[in-house]
Homo-oligomer: A and B are copies of this chain.
Amino acid sequence: MAGNNFMIPRLYIDVALEPDNGIILSVSQIHYLKNVLRLETGATILLFNGRDGEFAADLVEMKKRGGRAKVTAKTRDLTTEPDLQLAFAPVKRGPLEVIVQKAVEIGVSQLTPVITERTNAPKVNVDRLRTIAIEAAEQCGRLTIPHVDEPIKLDGLLTTWPEKRRLMFCDEAGDDENQTWGGREGRAQPALDALKAFDRKAQSWAVLTGPEGGFSNQERGALRDNAFVIPVTLGPRILRADTAAIAALTLWQAALGDWNQS
C-alpha cells in the first residue's frame, strides 16, 4: 500500500534519483502540477524512475517552459510486480485504453498487443499506450512501468515463446467439449481451478485474450498444441475483450501473484 502518501502527486521520470539531486521537469509535467493540480513552488511531490524506489522532492521552479524539483528523501524502497505479461488482441480505442490502464493497476510487468485472424482494430499507437501505462502507474502507486511491446502476430508469438513461460489462454465462447485440440483434452477449465494447480514460486506467466470476434478454430488448435498453453473459461456469460482481460489478470494475481501478501 502507498499508505498515507497516496494523495500526493507521483511522477515517473527516467533519471537517476537520490537525495539532493536536482530534477528537470518537462513542460507537460509542470502543466499538470500547476494547472491541473494547482500546486505552487515549495509543494512536495513524489518521484520514481522504475529502478531506485520512490523519493520526495520539493518543487523549486515552475515556468511555462518547464521547471525544477529537488529530491529531499527516499520514501519507499523499490518493489517490483510479478512476471506477468498480458498478451491481448487490440480492440477499438475506448476498451483498448481500459485494458492498458486496468492491467497496469492490477499489476502486469509487460503488455503485448497480438494480431490475430479476427483482429479488427485500428493500427496500435504504442506510444499512446505507453503514456497510458505511465499515468496508470503514477496513479496506482506502482514503482515500475510495465514494458509495452510493438504488436506481434499470434503465430510469431507462439514460435518464439519461451517453453517454461505459461500462457493462460482465455478462450471466450470457444469451449467445445466434442472437439479435440492437438490431442489434448478439449474442455477448458474454470480459470481459478486451473490456476490452483500451480505453485506460487518462481513463475513466469502470461494471459492471452482475443478480439471481440474471438479466436478462429485454427488459432485455437494451434494454441492448444503447445504444452505451455492452459485454456481456461471465465464464466457462463460472454465477456467483452476488455472485461476478459481484467478478470483473467485479477484471478491470476489473487491466486498466484502479489494480491495475497498484503
Instruction: Using A175-B1, A251-B254 as known contacts, say yes or no to A239 and B192 having CB atoms under 8 A apart.
Output: no
Give the docked Cα–Cα distance between A6 and B175 (Å): 13
So how many copies of this chain end up in the complex? 2
Give the docked Cα–Cα distance between A243 and B258 (Å): 16
Instruction: Using A173-B1, A250-B251, A262-B233 as known contacts, say yes or no to A6 and B140 having CB atoms under 8 A apart.
Output: no
CB distance from A120 to the nearest CB of B (A): 14
Judged by a CB distance under 8 angstroms, whether A253 is at the interface is yes
Give the docked Cα–Cα distance between A235 and B259 (Å): 4
Give the docked Cα–Cα distance between A6 and B262 (Å): 40
Question: Which of A19-27, A57-65, A102-110, A150-158 is the interface stretch?
Answer: A102-110
Instruction: Using A6-B173, A173-B6 as known contacts, say yes or no to A243 and B246 having CB atoms under 8 A apart.
Output: yes
B253, A235: Cβ atoms closer than 8 Å: yes
Instruction: Using A243-B102, A247-B246 as known contacts, say yes or no to A237 and B107 having CB atoms under 8 A apart.
Output: yes
A2, B173: Cβ atoms closer than 8 Å: yes
CB distance from A145 to the nearest CB of B (A): 13
With CB as the reference atom, state the residue of chain B lying closest to A255: B192
Q: Which residues of A from 121 to 175 have beta carbons under 8 Å from B?
A: 139-142, 173, 175
**Most chain B C-beta atoms within 10 Å of own C-beta, residue among A236, A251, A257:** A236
Instruction: Using A106-B243, A239-B106 as known contacts, say yes or no to A192 and B254 having CB atoms under 8 A apart.
Output: yes
CB distance from A97 to the nearest CB of B (A): 10
Query: How big is chain A's contact interface, by range?
Result: 35 or more
CB distance from A35 to the nearest CB of B (A): 19
Judged by a CB distance under 8 angstroms, whether A217 is at the interface is no
Q: Could you list some 15 contacts between A and B, CB below 8 A?
A: A1-B173, A1-B236, A2-B173, A98-B98, A102-B246, A106-B239, A106-B243, A107-B237, A140-B238, A190-B259, A193-B260, A235-B257, A235-B258, A235-B259, A247-B250
A238, B139: Cβ atoms closer than 8 Å: yes
Q: Which B residues are CB-close (under 8 A) to A3?
A: 173
Give the docked Cα–Cα distance between A227 and B235 (Å): 30
Q: Which B residues are CB-close (under 8 A) to A1?
A: 173, 175, 236, 238
Q: Which B residues are CB-close (under 8 A) to A253?
A: 235
Judged by a CB distance under 8 angstroms, whether A46 is at the interface is no
Q: Which B residues are CB-close (under 8 A) to A233?
A: 259, 262
